Amino acid sequence: MSRLIKQINFPADLRKFKKNQLEQISEELRDELIDVVSETGGHLGAGLGVIELTVALHYVFNTPKDKLVWDVSHQCYPHKIITGRREKIRTLRKGGGLSGFTKRTESEYDPFGAAHSSTSISSTLGMAVAKKLSNNNNNVIAVIGDGAMSAGMAYEAMNNAGALKSNLIVVLNDNDMSIARPVGAMSKYLAKLLSGKMYFSLRETVKMVISAFSKRFSQKAGKAEDLLRGIVTGGTLFSELGFYYIGPVDGHDVNNLVQIFENVKNSNHQGPVLIHTRTQKGKGYKPAEDSGDKYHGVSKFNIATGEQAQKKANAPSYTKVFAETLIKHAEQDTKIIGITGAMPSGTGLNLFEKKFPERTFDVGIAEQHAVTFAAGLATEGYKPYAAIYSTFLQRAYDQVVHDVALQSLPVRFAIDRAGLVGADGPTHAGSFDITYLSTLPNFIVMAASDESELVKMINTSVHINDRPSAFRYPRGNGVGIKLPSINETIEIGKGRIIKEGKKVAILNFGTRLDECKKASELLSKKGIEVTIVDARFAKPLDEKLIMEIATNHEVLISIEEGSIGGFGSHVMQFLSDRGVFDKGLKFRSMILPDLFLDQDTPEKMYEKAGLDSLSITNKIEETLNSNIILAKNRSKFNN
């Protein structure tokens, strides 16, 4: 049998095939996806679950003129394969390659960039309104998962869409929450009927007729329609939000999906429509189907066995160190609570939950709620730990400010994935938390330079009962040193001297400490001995220690894995207020560059960011020689 998928480079090619060929195309696309991700790693289970949905959507709708937006978009690999990117698909998540998420600059078939959850309905509603204002009749479709439906933003958007009566199609990809009963033959038939042009017309006609008669007749007619639709739909919530609800339908029956999408596309219905599909994450690949996480995120793997390539680590991951340390404290302190937003395994709280299920709360993709929920617990004397990725904590900044900091509530923020994260790229990088937390009164902001320091910071946070605190740590493994006991703490606002030298001092905040040590070794060979300080705290600063090194060295370099406005900015402000720069101190702040860095290996990303050992070495030499360079420049200018 010839491979049909090879003939499809763009959706226009797909639409040339007959409907009875779509099942074969779907199976071939599934096979190709498995083959690709076995080489690249990445998100597999979600893509396997939307194969038929992807084929049906591109077959029926005229993309890219019709706008198709994938929520979160970790399910977008099949979409990328058939939208002109097959030749580059094996560069997925690599430096210079395709993004693991939809990206506007990558393709016209990606009308909205994603990677954070629950944005699709809001963005497509904006597109739908724009099209209406422009007298454009093209379709706008959002595909959102049941997990993303746990976020309030999705309901805010649906409420607005219903009120505006915008022509918007939302496909609910339900693969886990069992929102409705399993799909059966009768529900399939009625879903087709309810999506048909005749039913849309009949429905509107009935409304017009009954409006001319008594209220009593109107109520009976309305109940009759609700009864008909209620047999299978269960869509009361969506209907109340103003959506015409269709479903549930089998999300793996490609021909049925095509007919339903065609019915909706060709109807004269005015207003938003929600099509509820039921799918299976990991569909069609047995190792994924049998896995607990359905191969949501995988490394390279053997297709025949499903066995994933595992890197040998000489040290535990920072995430695991956090989880195991918190467990030890929770064994002694019944007030400790673990909170996460749909990321129990990503944050290590799945380990905590095994020991303390009654003290673990996964609130779903709802970071705003998570933070204020934690604040409420804190008011009652509990010790909540909100374990949230840096990039996702951004979504709850108002709650951090108003509900936590303003009230000095002792919520503890365990900030995972701090700094650059590699293959997941700029959408998942933890670049801004130092800045957006250090500006807040009443906050304690810490960064671990290694796994031992992380343990000490967790230990310290247990005893902070008068204000909020945060400790940040990166993705990946520690450096391989012995961990302290849970009794070892750090004095609030106190750094530590790692190495003493002359003329030059490095003030490090976070896990660039190893790179600072390497830079020191390179400089030592050139006769430059460097003082290295691990600051530990961005807030409060160790003012005494910073003043000491600032007044005893010619050059002071601050280093952090964060954006402008963070640790280095606070150090500069402090030194400026003390008049230190008037005495000739040469200060430089090394931070992440003012741009979003594309995915690559973490090592290459930090090299591009200028935060590797060679960049630190060059910055120090350049600063030491700045007077000579300045004099030469002045001489050239005067001549």
CATH number of the domain residue 537 falls in: 3.40.50.920
> Does residue 479 lie in a domain region?
no
Q: Are strands 42-43 and 297-298 parallel, antiparallel or unpaired?
A: antiparallel
Indicate if 288 and 324 belong to the same structural domain.
Answer: no
pLDDT of residue 177: 46
CA 393 to chain centre: 10
pLDDT over 60 at 637, yes or no:
no
Cross-strand partners of 446: 471, 537
CB 274 within 8 A of CB 170: yes
CA-CA distances (angstroms) from residue 538 to 486, 491, 513, 556, 620? 23, 14, 15, 16, 22
Q: How many Cα atoms are found within 13 Å in the side-chain-facing hemisphere of 33?
A: 34
Same domain, 463 and 533: no
How many structural domains does the chain have?
3
User: Is 67 labeled as catalytic in the residue annotation?
Assistant: no
Between the alpha carbon of residue 218 and those of residues 210, 227, 228, 233, the distances in Å are 5, 14, 16, 22
pLDDT at site 238: 87
* Whether 150 and 280 share a structural domain: yes
Average pLDDT for residues 517-525, to the nearest whole number? 97
Whether pLDDT at 293 is above 90: no
576-578-580-582 Cα dihedral, nearest 10 degrees: 80
Domain boundary at 422, 456, 472, which? 472
Provide the residue type at 575 as one letter: L
pLDDT digits (tens, 9 = 90+) for 323-338: 999 999 999 999 999 9
Residue 592 lies in a domain: yes
What is the residue whose two structure tokens read 């997990």?
147
Name residues whose C-beta falls within 8 Å of residue 274's C-beta, 6 or more positions apart in sequence: 158, 170, 171, 172, 235, 238, 243, 244, 245, 246, 247
Q: What phi and psi, each to the nearest 5 degrees, are found at residue 164?
A: -80, -15
Please indicate, yes or no, whether residues 180 and 229 belong to a single structural domain of this protein. Answer: yes
Residue 149 banded pLDDT, cuts 50, 70, 90 = confident
382-391 per-position pLDDT tens digit: 999 999 999 9
Tokens representing 539? 């807030």
Do 268 and 365 lie in a common domain? no
Q: What is the mean pLDDT of residues 78-96?
A: 95
Mean pLDDT across 367-391: 98
What angle, rounded to 10 degrees, do the helices at 185-195 and 254-266 form?
Answer: 20
Q: Is residue 336 domain-shared with residue 457, that is, in the same domain? A: yes
Summarised one tens digit per residue, pLDDT across range 598-608 is: 999 999 999 99
Peptide linkage before 182 cis (omega within 30 of 0): no
User: Which residues have C-beta within 8 Å of that of residue 464, sequence separation ≥ 6?
Assistant: 410, 412, 444, 492
Check pLDDT > 60 for residue 567: yes
Q: Is the pLDDT of residue 213 over 70?
A: no
> Cα(305)–Cα(25) distance, rounded to whole angstroms?
24
Evaluate whether 29 touches 89 at the Cβ level (below 8 Å): no
CATH number at residue 401: 3.40.50.970
Q: What percent of the chain has pLDDT over 70?
A: 88
Read off the pLDDT of residues 466-509 as tens digits, 9 standing for 90 and up: 999 999 999 999 999 999 999 999 999 999 999 999 999 999 99
Residues 362 and 435 in one domain: yes
Tokens linked to 131: 């099209």
Residue 69, SS3 per DSSP:
strand
Q: Is residue 271 part of a domain?
A: yes
Instruction: From 470, 551, 542, 554, select the one nearest 508 (Cα to Cα).
Output: 542
169 and 45 in a common domain: yes
32, 52, 262, 367: the active-site residue: 367
C-beta pairs of 130-137 under 8 Å, 24+ apart in sequence: 132/166, 132/167
Q: Please give the structure tokens belonging to residue 540.
A: 């409060």
The token pair at 437 is 């937390």
Per-residue confidence (pLDDT) for residue 189, from 0 to 100: 54
Classify residue 185: in a domain, yes or no. yes
User: Does residue 615 register a pLDDT over 60?
Assistant: yes
Phi and psi for 504 in degrees, rounded to 5? -120, 135
DSSP string, 7-49: G-SSHHHHTTS-GGGHHHHHHHHHHHHHHHHHHH-EE-HHHHH
Residue 592 is predicted with a pLDDT of: 97
The mean pLDDT of 143-147, rounded to a whole number, is 91
The catalytic residue among 93, 103, 383, 395 is 395
Q: Is 281 a catalytic residue?
A: yes
Distance CA 447, CA 434 (A): 9
Q: Residue 228 pLDDT more than 60?
A: no
Q: Give the per-residue pLDDT at 247.
A: 84
Residues 373, 230 share a domain? no
**Which of 385, 309, 305 minimizes the C-alpha distance to 344?**
385
Which residues are registered as beta bridge partners of 143?
Answer: 70, 171
| Catalytic residue from among 131, 188, 229, 281 | 281
Pinpoint the alpha helices (H) of 212-343.
Answer: 215-230, 236-240, 254-266, 286-290, 318-332
Give the range of the structural domain holding residue 235, as residue numbers without chain letter.
4-292+294-298
Q: Which of 278, 268, 311, 288 is nearest to 187 (CA)?
A: 278
In a domain, 637, yes or no: no
**Is the pLDDT at 364 greater than 70, yes or no?**
yes
Coil, helix or strand at residue 530 = strand
408-465 per-position pLDDT tens digit = 999 999 999 999 999 999 999 999 999 999 999 999 999 999 999 999 999 999 999 9
Report cis status (omega within 30 of 0) of the bond before 540. yes
Same domain, 206 and 253: yes
Do residues 281 and 49 touch, judged by C-beta distance below 8 A? yes
* More confident call, 313 vs 274: 274
Residue 237 and residue 335 in one domain: no
User: Where residue 561 falls among pLDDT bands split at 50, 70, 90?
Assistant: very high
Is 602 a member of any domain? yes
The answer as to whether 209 is a domain residue is yes
Assess whether 177 and 138 both reside in one domain. Answer: yes
Task: Quote the mean pLDDT of the chain.
Answer: 90
> Helices in 241-285 by DSSP H: which ranges?
254-266
Query: pLDDT tier at 626 (50, 70, 90 boundaries)?
Result: confident
Query: Active-site residue 294, yes or no?
Result: no
Could you tell me what percentage of the chain is helix, strand and coil, using 3-state DSSP and rounding each to the nearest 5?
A: 45, 15, 40
Helices (H), 231-366: 236-240, 254-266, 286-290, 318-332, 344-347, 349-355
> Quick one: 425 exposed, middle or buried, by C-beta within 10 A (0-12, 13-18, 19+)?
buried
Q: Compute φ and ψ for 171, nearest 5 degrees.
A: -105, 115
165-198 pLDDT, tens digit each: 999 999 999 986 434 444 455 456 556 655 665 5
- Asked if residue 636 is part of any domain, the answer here is no
